[in-house]
Amino acid sequence: MIIVNLDVMMAKRKISLNELSEKIGITTTNLSILKTNKAKAIRFSTLNAICKVLNCQPSDILEYQESLDEK
């Protein structure tokens, strides 16, 4: 299971959803879906833009956790 820690990085960088949305060029709705772990996928171009704006690595945003079904 992939966990999205976008909210953590946004808090560390003190950037709002609206501001990040404007800087990376995607809607706040789509960014919110990603932020709340409801996204099914993410484009590398979007991940790249997020990392560039937040000055972070993909591993700062995405985390793998083994789910109970996989054990």
- Claim: this prediction has a pTM higher than 0.85: yes
User: Which structural domains are found in the chain, ordered by start?
Assistant: 2-65 (1.10.260.40)
Task: Supply φ then ψ for residue 19, to 5 degrees.
Answer: -65, -45
Tell me the per-residue pLDDT of 11-61, one tens digit each, with 9 for 90 and over: 999 999 999 999 999 999 999 999 999 999 999 999 999 999 999 999 999
Q: Cα separation of 2 and 18, whole Å?
A: 24
β-strand partners of 7? none
